[in-house]
Amino acid sequence: GDRSLSQGLSVLVGLGLCVTMLGLGCAVELGQLGQQLRRPVGLLLALLGQFVAMPLVAFLLALIFALDEVAAVAVLLCGCCPGGNLSNLMSVLVDGDMNLSIIMTASSTLLALFLMPLCLWIYSRHWINTAVVQLLPLGAVSLTLGSTLLPIGLGVLIRYRHPRAADLLVKISLWSLLVTLVVLFILTGTMLGPDLLAQIPASVYAIAVLMPLAGYALGYGLATVFKMPPHCRRTVSLETGCQNVQLCTAILKLTFSPELIGSMYMFPLLYALFQSAEAGLFVLAYKMYGRDSYKQDTLGEEEDTDISYKKLKEEEVADTSYGTVTTEEHNSIQMEPTQTAL
């Protein structure tokens, strides 16, 4: 029964990852991609956020909480993953820059093909003498990442040829993301059992809480350093803290045996739970306190434009009413001043 459940879990993880990557590809437009390549701010932020800040945060938390090698590898895998689709949904809810959000997610997914194995190799050196790190399958990680390129490319092609179908697939992928996470949590908990779940150290739960918070804070600070507007700062914040937990789960499930990784299968799901809850609090705080200021800023910009236009029209009227030219006998010309009512 456990073997059948494990096989079913592997199929669910693979299908969920394919649907998510297909939806990500359907959200990418070639015109926007060309603009970002000419001015690659989104690409640079994705590089710094996902493959500099988050792996470093995961490594430091693993050291601070003195995790064993199995828990450390699970945390490092999650920290080295690219951005997830959850950030795209949350960016909509906080009036963020959707183009920037999608480009950052797509860019980090493509960069992960090369940078994720590199980050894992660099940060796992501290536990290099342990069995789980010696067996860390960097080739299998790269193969899993490479397999995500096919649905992404297919999604980009669908967006180019059938935009309406692409919009539908994006919505389906977002819903499948939520459903897959819930089902994974239930099935994994059933397979592992309450005894193994109780064996997860409290330090792992603490890291699952702190790591997304650190990502959100670092992303916002990174966007502030680049002097980006507030709606872009919110977008970069969510992009940095939200990881592709489906990819992390797939790598753990497809490359490690259950006897070796044990209850650490649950870490990416715990991370998904807390990153969603914290992002939800972020959205709630914005809806309660930040949305009014966003509307006032937008309204103020429109009012400034109207005032400038009115002043311009008044100046044009004033310029054409200095006087009236009249002609009299003997071909004389006189300028009669007129008054303009302002």
Q: Mind giving me the DSSP string for 190-253?
A: HHHHHHHHHTS-HHHHHHHHHHHHHHHHHHHHHHHHTT--HHHHHHHHHHHH-B-HHHHHHHHH
pLDDT winner (highest mean) among 111-125, 145-159, 176-190, 292-306: 111-125
User: Is 115 part of a structural domain of the chain?
Assistant: yes
Residue 60 sits in a domain of what CATH number?
1.20.1530.20
Per-residue model confidence (pLDDT) at position 225: 92
Predicted local distance difference test score (pLDDT) of residue 147: 66
Instruction: Please give the average per-residue pLDDT across 206-212, as a whole number.
Output: 94
21 falls within a domain: yes
Instruction: Please give the tally of structural domains in the chain.
Output: 1
Residue 323 φ then ψ, to 5° = 180, 170
Comparing 66 with 18, the larger pLDDT belongs to 66
Amino acid letter at 163? P
296 located within any domain: no
Higher pLDDT, 252 or 240: 240
Check pLDDT > 70 for residue 273: yes
Residue 333 included in any domain: no
pLDDT (0 to 100) of residue 291: 65
Least confident of 93-102, 203-212, 254-263: 254-263
pTM of structure = 0.73
| pLDDT tier at 230, thresholds 50, 70, 90 | very high
Is the Cβ–Cβ distance between 116 and 51 less than 8 Å?
A: yes
pLDDT tens by residue, 289-308: 866 555 555 544 444 434 44
Residue 212 binned pLDDT confidence (cut-offs 50, 70, 90): very high
Q: Does 218 map to a domain? A: yes
Could you tell me the residue range of the domain that residue 114 belongs to?
9-291
> What pLDDT does 58 receive?
95
User: Model confidence at 342, in pLDDT bands (50, 70, 90)?
Assistant: very low
Min mean pLDDT across 47-51, 165-169, 230-234, 288-292 is at 288-292
Asked whether residue 320 is domain-assigned, the answer is no
How many other CB atoms are there within 10 angstroms of residue 299's CB atom? Answer: 10
Residue 4 predicted with pLDDT over 60 = yes
Per the DSSP assignment, residues forming a β-bridge with 324 are 336
pLDDT at position 213, please? 95
Task: Give the chain's radius of gyration (CA, Å).
Answer: 28
Out of 15-29, 59-73, 233-247, 315-329, pick the least confident: 315-329
Tell me the per-residue pLDDT of 102-112, one tens digit each, with 9 for 90 and over: 888 888 888 88
End-to-end CA separation in angstroms for the chain: 88
DSSP notation for 72-116: HHHHHHHHHS-B-THHHHHHHHTT--HHHHHHHHHHHHHHHHHHH
Residue of 173, 53, 165, 16 whose CA lies nearest to 102: 173
Mean pLDDT over all residues of the chain?
76
44-96 pLDDT, tens per residue?
A: 888 999 999 999 999 999 999 999 888 888 899 999 998 887 887 788 788 88
Q: What is the pLDDT of residue 57?
A: 96
Q: Is residue 342 part of a domain?
A: no
324's tokens: 């009236």
